[in-house]
C-alpha cells in the first residue's frame, strides 16, 4: 500500500509541522507501506525529518502554491492501480490507522462520532445492517441530505482509495476543481472530490471510536450483539489481523465473563469447533474479548441467500449436533438441581416478559394478558401457563433431565460459520454454561427450523397487533417449506441415532426449551420503531408452542402421545410475497 500525506501543517498546528517519519516508521519497517509521498508545507521540515528521508520510500515535495498541491495529489492518484491511503495532514496519521486500512480491499473513509477536537468536515452517513456508508461530505451539519436521519459523523482526514476506477474518478474530479473557487458547500477541491465519489458510488466507512476500556478502536462493521453485549469487527491497531471484538458492561458483564471463562477452559478436542480467543480483558465494571476473525458465512446466511439446498442445510445441522454430542457434552457432567426446569426455563420466561413490559409499556397488555388471540385462535397467556406448569409435579418430573452436561447454549443457525471449501464449521457466541440439558441446545436448533426464528429475524414476516391479539404471517412459502424439510430430516436422524437415549419424553424437553427461547428472546430484539415486528412475532410463535406443549403434557397422562415436531402457525400464517 502507498500513502500520500497532503500537508504537514493545518489549522491545529500551523506553526509547527507535524512529523511524518516517526508516525509511519512501524508501517514502513514491517512492509505495510511501500511508498509515502509527503506534500510538505511551505514552512519546511524539521531537521529531524530531513535527516530521516528514507530515499526511495519516503519522498518529500514542497508545493509552491496550493493549486500545485492539488495537481500533485491528482498525479499521485493516477500513478499506480493498487491501494492508496490519502491523509489530509500528518496529524491524521493516527496510531493504528495505517495498519487498519492496510487490511481493507475497498475504498473506505475514516469517520468518527466523537472527535477529540473540532473537525471542520461533517460526514453524511447511512447505517444499513452491519455497515455505515458515506453519502457525502460537507462543511456544516445543516447541509445534511434530505431524509438522512443518521446522526452526523465527522470525516477525519483519511481515505483509502482502492482500485483503478476510483483513483481515476477522484483524479478527474480533483483536476476539474484545481485553481477554482471552493464549491457552494465551501469544500476544498479534494473534499469536493470525495463528496462527488460518495454520491456516485457506495463508499463504506470505518469508524474511529473507543472501546469499553476507553482505548481507540477502528470498527469495520457491527455484528448482531445479543445478551446486552456489543460485537463488531475491529481492524488491527498494530501488528496482527482484524478480530471480532465482543465487549460488555453493566447488564451484559456477567454473561461475557462466563463466556470468556468457558471458552478459555475448553480442551483441544472441543475447542477446535470454536473461534479461538486472541485476547481478553476483564475489569470490575467492563470486559472484552477478541476472537479470531473468519470471513465465512453463517448457516442462516447460506440458507436465506439460496446458496445451499435443504439437504445440505440438514447435513450441516446433523454434523453440528454430532460434534456437540461427541466432543462437547462428555465434559462436565453434573447432577440436576431439583428446580432445574423452574430456574432454566419457567423463571426465564417470567423475567423476560417483565423486562419487555417495562421496555415497551405501550404493549404491556399483550405481555400481561391471561389470554390472547394469535392468528384468530384464543390462547392462554405465557404467565398463566408458566404458573400452572410450575405447580404440576408430574409435568416437572417429565421435563427434568437425568443429568446436565457442558453445552453450547445458543447453537442456532446464525451462530455457526460454514467453511464449505474445507468441509468444516465453527461455532460462535456460546452461552458459557457449565451445565445444561442437551435439549436446551436442541431447542435452539428447533427454534430455527420449527419456530422459524430465522425468518422472523431475517424480515420474512408481517405482524399486526391490537389490544387483544397478534396476527403474524410468514411472507415466503418457499422458505417455510425449506425449513420444514430441514427439520424433518434432522428429526429422522435424531430418532435413528438414538439421541433420546430411551427417554420417552425427550421431545417434550426439546419443545419446552424451544417455547422458552421464543417467549424470552424479546428484550434482545426491541427496535423502538413502533412496529416491533420481531418482538411480536417471536412472542406469538412462542405462545403457540407453549399452549401446545401444555396440551400434550396433560394428554401424556392418558397414554403415549405422538412426538410432535411441527406445530404449524394457525390461520393464514403464510403469505406469498415472492416476486415473479
Asked whether residue 175 falls in the same domain as residue 249, the answer is no
β 243-249/286-292 pair status? antiparallel
Q: How confident is the model at residue 184 (pLDDT cuts 50, 70, 90)?
A: low
Asked whether residue 79 falls in the same domain as residue 31, the answer is yes
Residues 6+ apart with CB under 8 A from 431: 255, 258, 259, 407, 408, 409, 410
Whether the Cβ atoms of residue 293 and residue 255 lie closer than 8 Å to each other = no
Whether the Cβ atoms of residue 242 and residue 220 lie closer than 8 Å to each other = yes
Q: Which of 142-151, 201-210, 211-220, 329-338 has the lowest mean pLDDT?
A: 142-151
Flag whether 575 is in a domain: no
Asked whether residue 23 falls in the same domain as residue 91, the answer is yes
- Give the three-state DSSP class for 183: coil
| Confidence at residue 530, expressed as pLDDT on a 0 to 100 scale | 80
β 122-128/131-138 pair status? antiparallel
Asked whether residue 441 falls in the same domain as residue 319, the answer is yes
Last residue of a domain, one of 260, 292, 324: 292
Asked whether residue 182 falls in the same domain as residue 261, the answer is no
Flag whether 573 is in a domain: no
> Element (H or E) spanning 82, and its range?
none
Instruction: For residue 82, give the nearest of 160, 25, 6 by alpha carbon.
Output: 160
Asked whether residue 202 falls in the same domain as residue 230, the answer is no
| CATH code for the domain of 396 | 3.90.1200
Flag whether 195 is in a domain: yes
Is residue 479 over pLDDT 50?
yes
> Element (H or E) spanning 388, and its range?
helix 382-390
Last residue of a domain, one of 210, 235, 267: 210
**Helix residue spans in 497-571 (DSSP H):** 506-520, 533-555
Last residue of a domain, one of 163, 190, 210: 210
Question: CA–CA distance from 50 to each of 84, 227, 480, 492 (Å)?
Answer: 24, 54, 68, 75
| CATH code for the domain of 138 | 3.90.550.10
Q: Using alpha carbons only, give the angle 75, 78, 80 rounded to the nearest 5 degrees.
A: 120
| Confidence at residue 579, expressed as pLDDT on a 0 to 100 scale | 36
Asked whether residue 304 falls in the same domain as residue 281, the answer is no
Is residue 205 over pLDDT 70?
yes
Average pLDDT across the chain, whole number: 86
Percentage of residues in the chain with pLDDT exceeding 70?
Answer: 87
Bridge partners of 334?
A: 404
Cell of 409: 447454549
Q: Does the predicted model carry a pTM greater than 0.95?
A: no
> Element (H or E) spanning 128, and its range?
strand 122-128
Flag whether 395 is in a domain: yes
What is the maximal distance between C-alpha atoms in the chain?
95
Asked whether residue 191 falls in the same domain as residue 305, the answer is no
Q: How confident is the model at residue 577 (pLDDT cuts 50, 70, 90)?
A: very low
Whether the Cβ atoms of residue 508 and residue 524 lie closer than 8 Å to each other = no
Question: CA–CA distance from 457 to each of 84, 395, 526 (Å)?
Answer: 38, 31, 12
Asked whether residue 149 falls in the same domain as residue 190, the answer is yes
Domain that holds residue 517: 299-558
Flag whether 565 is in a domain: no
Cell of 508: 417434550
Asked whether residue 455 falls in the same domain as residue 504, the answer is yes
Instruction: For residue 451, give the nearest of 367, 515, 380 by alpha carbon.
Output: 515
| Confidence at residue 576, expressed as pLDDT on a 0 to 100 scale | 46
Q: How many CB atoms lie within 10 A of CB 342?
A: 18
Asked whether residue 115 falls in the same domain as residue 240, the answer is no
Q: How many CB atoms lie within 10 A of CB 503?
A: 14
Is residue 561 over pLDDT 50?
no
- When divided into structural domains, the chain yields a total of 3
503-556 confidence digits (pLDDT tens): 889 999 999 999 999 999 999 888 888 889 999 999 999 999 999 999 999 888
Asked whether residue 42 falls in the same domain as residue 111, the answer is yes
Secondary structure of 475-516 as H, E, C letters: CCHHHHHHHHHHHHHHHHHHHHCCCCCCCCCHHHHHHHHHHH
312-351 confidence digits (pLDDT tens): 999 999 999 999 999 999 887 889 999 999 999 999 999 9
d(CA 519, CA 515): 6
Query: What mean pLDDT comes out for the span 432-439?
Result: 85
Instruction: For residue 148, give the nearest of 124, 122, 121, 123 by alpha carbon.
Output: 124
223-256 confidence digits (pLDDT tens): 876 667 889 999 887 667 889 999 999 888 988 9
Flag whether 313 is in a domain: yes
Amino acid at each position: 500500500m502507498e500513502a500520500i500525506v497532503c500537508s504537514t501543517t493545518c489549522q491545529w498546528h500551523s506553526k509547527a509541522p507535524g512529523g511524518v517519519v516517526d508516525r509511519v516508521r512501524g508501517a514502513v519497517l514491517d512492509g505495510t507501506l511501500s511508498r509515502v509521498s509527503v506534500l510538505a508545507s511551505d514552512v519546511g521540515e524539521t531537521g529531524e525529518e530531513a535527516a530521516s528521508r528514507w530515499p526511495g520510500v519516503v519522498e518529500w515535495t514542497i508545493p509552491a502554491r496550493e493549486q500545485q498541491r492539488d495537481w500533485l495529489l491528482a498525479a499521485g492518484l493516477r500513478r499506480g492501480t493498487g491501494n492508496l491511503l490519502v491523509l489530509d495532514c500528518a496529524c491524521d496519521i493516527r496510531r493504528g490507522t495505517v495498519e487498519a486500512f492496510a487490511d481493507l480491499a475497498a475504498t473506505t473513509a475514516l469517520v468518527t462520532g466523537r472527535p477529540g477536537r473540532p473537525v471542520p468536515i461533517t460526514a453524511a452517513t447511512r447505517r444499513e445492517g452491519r455497515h455505515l456508508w458515506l453519502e457525502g461530505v460537507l462543511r456544516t451539519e445543516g447541509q445534511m441530505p434530505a431524509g438522512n436521519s443518521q446522526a452526523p459523523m465527522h470525516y477525519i482526514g483519511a481515505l483509502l482509495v482502492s482500485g483503478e476506477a476510483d483513483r481515476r474518478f477522484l483524479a478527474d474530479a480533483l483536476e476539474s476543481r484545481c485553481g477554482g473557487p471552493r464549491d457552494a458547500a465551501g469544500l476544498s477541491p479534494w473534499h469536493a472530490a470525495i463528496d462527488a465519489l460518495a454520491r456516485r458510488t457506495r463508499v463504506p466507512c470505518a469508524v474511529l471510536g473507543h472501546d469499553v476500556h476507553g482505548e481507540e478502536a477502528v470498527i469495520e462493521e457491527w455484528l448482531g450483539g445479543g445478551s446486552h453485549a456489543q460485537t463488531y469487527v475491529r481492524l488491527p491497531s498494530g501488528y496482527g489481523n482484524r478480530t471480532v471484538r465482543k465487549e460488555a458492561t453493566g447488564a451484559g458483564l456477567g454473561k461475557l465473563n462466563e463466556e470468556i471463562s468457558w471458552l478459555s477452559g475448553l480442551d483441544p478436542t472441543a475447542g477446535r469447533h470454536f473461534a479461538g480467543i486472541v485476547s481478553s480483558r476483564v475489569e470490575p465494571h467492563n470486559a472484552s474479548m477478541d476472537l479470531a476473525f473468519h470471513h465465512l458465512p453463517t448457516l442462516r446466511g447460506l440458507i436465506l441467500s439460496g446458496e445451499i439446498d435443504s439437504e445440505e442445510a440438514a447435513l450441516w445441522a446433523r454434523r453440528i449436533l454430532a460434534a456437540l454430542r461427541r466432543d462437547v457434552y462428555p465434559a462436565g457432567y453434573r447432577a440436576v438441581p431439583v428446580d432445574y426446569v423452574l430456574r432454566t426455563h419457567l423463571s426465564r420466561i417470567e423475567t423476560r416478559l417483565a423486562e419487555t413490559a417495562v421496555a415497551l409499556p405501550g404493549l404491556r397488555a399483550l405481555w400481561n394478558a391471561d389470554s390472547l388471540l394469535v392468528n384468530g385462535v384464543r390462547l392462554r397467556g405465557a404467565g398463566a401457563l408458566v404458573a400452572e406448569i410450575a405447580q404440576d409435579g408430574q409435568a416437572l418430573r417429565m421435563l427434568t433431565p437425568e443429568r446436565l452436561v457442558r453445552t453450547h447454549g445458543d447453537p442456532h443457525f446464525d451462530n455457526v460459520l460454514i467453511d464449505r471449501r474445507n468441509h468444516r464449521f465453527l461455532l460462535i457466541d456460546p452461552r458459557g454454561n457449565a451445565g445444561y440439558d442437551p435439549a436446551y441446545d436442541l431447542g435452539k436448533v428447533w427454534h430455527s427450523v420449527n419456530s422459524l426464528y430465522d425468518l422472523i429475524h431475517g424480515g420474512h414476516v408481517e405482524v399486526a397487533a391490537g389490544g387483544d391479539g397478534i396476527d403474524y404471517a410468514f411472507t415466503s412459502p418457499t422458505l417455510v417449506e425449506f425449513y420444514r424439510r430441514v427439520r424433518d430430516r434432522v428429526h429422522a436422524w435424531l430418532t435413528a441415532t438414538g439421541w433420546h437415549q430411551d427417554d420417552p419424553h425427550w421431545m417434550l424437553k426439546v419443545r419446552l426449551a424451544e417455547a422458552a427461547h421464543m417467549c424470552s428472546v424479546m428484550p434482545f430484539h426491541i427496535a423502538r420503531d413502533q412496529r416491533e415486528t420481531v418482538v411480536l412475532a417471536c412472542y406469538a410463535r412462542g405462545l403457540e408452542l407453549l399452549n401446545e406443549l401444555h396440551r400434550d403434557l396433560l394428554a401424556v397422562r392418558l397414554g403415549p402421545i405422538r412426538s410432535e415436531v411441527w406445530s404449524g402457525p394457525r390461520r393464514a400464517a403464510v403469505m406469498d410475497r415472492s416476486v415473479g
